[in-house]
């Protein structure tokens, strides 16, 4: 992204311990998406280090933390280790296609106030989903120079299941060369739903 802190090879893992205290200085509530450039449960990140992250999360209950992973089995194991996540943590897994639906079963075993799916980028039909125990579904198309075109029927399939199950549905983007290329409309409207009875914190900069 042009920042010195991110200039390394794709297979390298760097832990930036200096940023851990930052949330302590943010007085107004924020929605904080952790590890947008990595994975919170990467195999080379020790549970001891995650304990330190969790300490900061517990000290900042006015913030809401979204933790999204593809390593669903490690999230499940860590949840068992700590006896469940604090109430200000939302736990989610990525499910790009039907092939990865097994991650949802792992997520269901995670003790968290909000469990969610990120079906992004959606690169194929997802099929029937078991949405029990989930409160939020995010869907989005792929973006970038080599993006794969999103079939909106795949999105409708997920949206309709959410409506039937009474689960919040958020459509992030159609995708394209840039994230904004295709817009955010699905059947003539934007879908910006959040989990019921869960306030969305004010984000400040």
Confidence (pLDDT) at 203: 47
Q: What is the pLDDT of residue 12?
A: 80
Question: Could you tell me the mean pLDDT of each successive run of 10 residues in the chain, 205 residues long?
Answer: 71 85 96 89 95 97 97 98 97 95 97 97 94 97 94 97 97 95 96 78 45
Burial, 16: exposed, middle or buried (Cβ in 10 Å; 0-12, 13-18, 19+)? exposed
pLDDT score recorded for residue 204 = 41
pLDDT at 38: 85
CA–CA separation, 150 and 142 (whole Å): 7
pLDDT of residue 29: 96
Domain ranges across the chain: 28-118, 120-197
> What does pTM read for this prediction?
0.90
Q: Is residue 4 helix, strand or coil?
A: helix
């Amino acid at each position: 992204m042009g920042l010195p802190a991110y200039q390394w090879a794709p297979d390298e893992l760097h832990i930036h311990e200096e940023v851990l205290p930052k949330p302590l200085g943010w007085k107004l509530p924020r929605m904080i998406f952790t590890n947008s450039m990595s994975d919170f449960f990467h195999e080379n990140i020790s549970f001891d280090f995650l304990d330190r992250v969790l300490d900061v999360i517990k000290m900042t209950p006015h913030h809401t933390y979204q933790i999204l992973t593809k390593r669903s089995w490690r999230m499940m194991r860590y949840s068992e280790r700590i006896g469940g996540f604090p109430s200000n943590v939302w736990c989610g897994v990525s499910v790009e296609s039907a092939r990865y639906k097994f991650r949802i079963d792992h997520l269901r075993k995670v003790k968290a106030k909000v469990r969610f799916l990120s079906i992004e980028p959606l690169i194929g039909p997802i099929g029937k989903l078991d949405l029990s125990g989930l409160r939020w579904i995010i869907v989005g198309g792929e973006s970038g120079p080599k993006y794969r075109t999103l079939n909106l029927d795949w999105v409708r399939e997920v949206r309709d299941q959410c409506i039937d199950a009474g689960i919040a549905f958020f459509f992030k983007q159609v995708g394209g060369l840039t994230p904004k290329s295709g817009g955010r409309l699905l059947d003539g409207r934007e879908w910006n739903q959040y989990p019921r009875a869960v306030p969305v914190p004010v984000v400040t900069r």
